[in-house]
Amino acid sequence: MAMNSMNTASSDRVIKLEVIDDKLPKTSTGMVDTSLFTGENNLHARINPQTMMWTVHYEKGAVPGSLKEQRWTSFAKLYKDLELYFKDRNIKITEVVQSRTP
């Protein structure tokens, strides 16, 4: 995935996900929203302009607790942590795009 092809000034980025090897996502709690793979739901990374901290949000529903309470000081760190989080669940990040929502 080429992060450097994105507009680095974007305060809201959509993180596209895909199941690795067409296998089911691995989860012990059932907290993986399968609509993330169909485009019905999207994971957003947003920066708070007052605190300059990054957080993640779903368009629909709540992100799992382990991600909900996290704050990141840089998008690169957020990306790395999400890669590890999703890799453990048999999911990979395929693309990061600037959000079209205001």
pLDDT digit string, tens, across residues 3-12: 544 445 689 9
Q: What is the pLDDT of residue 4?
A: 43
Give the three-class secondary structure for 81: helix
Helix (H), strand (E) at residue 44: strand 43-47
Looking at residue 28, the DSSP 8-state letter turns out to be S
pLDDT in tens, the chain (102 residues): 445 444 456 899 999 999 888 766 766 555 677 788 888 899 999 999 999 999 999 999 888 888 889 999 999 999 999 999 988 888 899 999 998 755
